[in-house]
Structure 1
Amino acid sequence: MSVAEKLGSKVDTGFAIAFLQKMIQHKSYSQTEGERELVDWMGEQMRALGLKSDVVPFDGKRANAIGRWVGEGGGKSLMFNGHLDTNPVSEGWTVGPWEGKVDDKFIYGIGVSNMKAGDAAYFCAVKTLIEAGVRLRGDVLLTYVVGELQGGVGTMAMIEQGYRADYFVNSEPTDLQALTMHAGSFVFVIELIGKTRHLSKREEAVDAIAAACDLVPRLNGMKFSGAASPEHEKINRVNVGVIHGALGKDLHEWRPPQVADYVRLRGSGRYAPGQTEGNCLEDMRRVLHELEERFPGLKATVTNEKLNGRLSMPTFEVDRKSPIVKATNNAYRAVRGAEQNTGALTPPGFYGTDAGHLYRVAGMAGIVCGPGGRYNTMPDERVDIDDYLDMIRIYMGIICEICA
């Protein structure tokens, strides 16, 4: 029996739930004072646990909280990574978004799935091991970053400041599955320019709205060329999320008897490791060329939109034979008595996560594995309590195996 298995019963479930409730009760919307307040609070909690802890500023007022459990030397180091910023509350909630309500099955709150339950789980894993007197050879870094919703600016700042480890675990919600690959993402803009006529002469017009209606399902069903394997192709996806159509680029809406000659669409694409944004855009241009042939006289263009202040999320991939994947699978098996679902899994494979920056920019091998997912980004966002507590135990197992 492993050390982590022996200590699994030592997890203080009351503390773990109360700690997560306190995280939820911080209204940490991205790019707000509440985000910074939670960063400061996490720094205090890590110092109280005895970790070497710093609140590390970047880009003016923003900051990350980073703690280090220093090992005795001679072991591999492990970084846990998770973001503290949350999406806004949508309509349709029936519980208080910042209450941290708990019932017999779930804990509720905005950001609990994405991704405060993962954040709390690795804090509680380290707390349990420290209080049990476990001594490690390698260091464990707990990184609580901001700005993931701006494309990972907090993690990028942390990387630029020199923080590294031999391996990482990103705790984005995967329902405790081991995600070994996820897509990169880009935002696109498509413009369709037709020819207007009065509805009495509609047959002479080139209807941009009709062309858009033809186009959208074709885009949403796309797979990109050059996928390295069927598993890679599985995480290709396009989604049109915004569409505006009317007269002219100023989108005049006061003249509906005329056929619309202009449509602007915005959406996002997902592509696998080995594919590129450039290749994806070329594939989309071929689809637009076919559209022009179906609608003679139509002009269709696509461009990659670089959002101001937002980074692109790169692709992520790890070899399934990597020690971090094996350690995650072993810990899951020890806790749940079953084999862990592992691979380019969907829907998590369509995510963009900070794992892409840790892999592409910092050159680290890692895994994406966290509690939550089924009830993510929806009213009454919640996490199964059993999944949250088991995630703590699984993280304990990963720490003990990687850090010796």
Structure 2
Amino acid sequence: MSDVLIQDTADGAQPVAGALDTDACVSGQIADAIIASGLTDRPVGDLIEQVMGRLVAAGVPLARMMVGFRILHPLFDGMTIAWTDEHGVEVEYFQALNEDNPDFTLSPFYWMMKEQVEQLPLRLDRDAMVDKFPLLQRLRGEGFTGYFARVVSFGNKPIEVGTNDGLALSWSTKSPSGFSARDISIMQQILAPLSLALRVMIKDQIARNTLNAFHGPLVGERILSGTIKRGDGERLAAALWYSDLRNSTGLADQLSVEGFLELLNVYFDCAAGAVIEEGGQVLDIVGDAILAFFPADTAGEEAAATAALRAALKAQERLAAAKARSCKCAAEINFGVGVHFGDVVFGNAGTPERLKFGVIGRAVNEVARTQDMSKLLGQPIVATDQVVRRTRPEAGLRLNDMGLHDLRGIPAAKRLWALRHNAGIAPANGA
């Protein structure tokens, strides 16, 4: 591997002290800007855009920069933020950053981590090592000449494949002479503050991803904003949504552990997936029961009620589509949905050491009991009069009046409605 990356000087003159002082001043100014940006809690893309703009303004001939890192997310293993002088900042998420993924194992960063190489300077138009990596071959074909990569560890140990404690950065240029010694010096000098700022932002992103995945975005945002003490909360009007898997005990006894988990995930994709698609919040998954709600504080009561009923229809439509695809698990799945509208307390309850953020109140019991009635009435979706009266007439929902019914534990009888599939239902974004 060659490390010839600097520009050749015409006369072989050495840099003068004044130039070094000027470069240090430039690096210091960029470092200060990085720290200031980090303190303002700006999006990470804004930080990259600002840093690259300042580097280019300082005379560093950058045409591309990329930073990649692992994230804790149920759908993705990693995230990259790329900047180019042509398109600006672009964010991309990646699945399966492991040794079964050739796109990853053929990358320069994988090689650097495996070989414990901290930095990789290359002339893309000269060095034979470029042929080892498809990415670098592509960059060479696009006219890039210089490439400088760094792997940064956040701990005392070198970064390894699979670790979350670090990041990888690369800079590329199309300058005919590649990167100069001055360019490399400036980039090296800002590396520490940039890595520190990125580390803070990455940790924040991981925290948000984790909270959103396990608690939903509405709860996650409230926790991060400081609603973390016992008794913290607010009263909300909302459409409540509750589903329950039929014969779950029997299925659990019949199937292997892996088979039952696979079946549950298909059911959750149908039911919870429909809630999320319609803008609802999945608050709790208890065994095979799903509690969700559609707050009315922003969209209004009609929009919340209509969206909740649409989600119930879509959940059953998703199941029907899975069965039509001959999904083995789907054939065994049936579930009922109850939909209600009422006031709830949305906040924290529990012990001082172990809290649960969710919805509490009589309306929560009522929606669960409404779902129970779906089994007794032989209807896949049952809604209370409180939610039906708030739906938008133009939504085209097909509802059958099932009369008054006593719900277990609820003092007064409730008028219930069966919601039937209607192929002509208006699209969700028309609500």
- Superposition TM-score, scaled by structure 1 size: 0.24
Larger RCO, structures 1/2 (Cα 8 Å, 6+ apart): 1
Q: Which protein has the bigger helix share? A: 2
Report the structure number with the largest CA radius of gyration. Answer: 2
- Superposition TM-score, scaled by structure 2 size: 0.22
Q: Which protein has the bigger strand share? A: 2
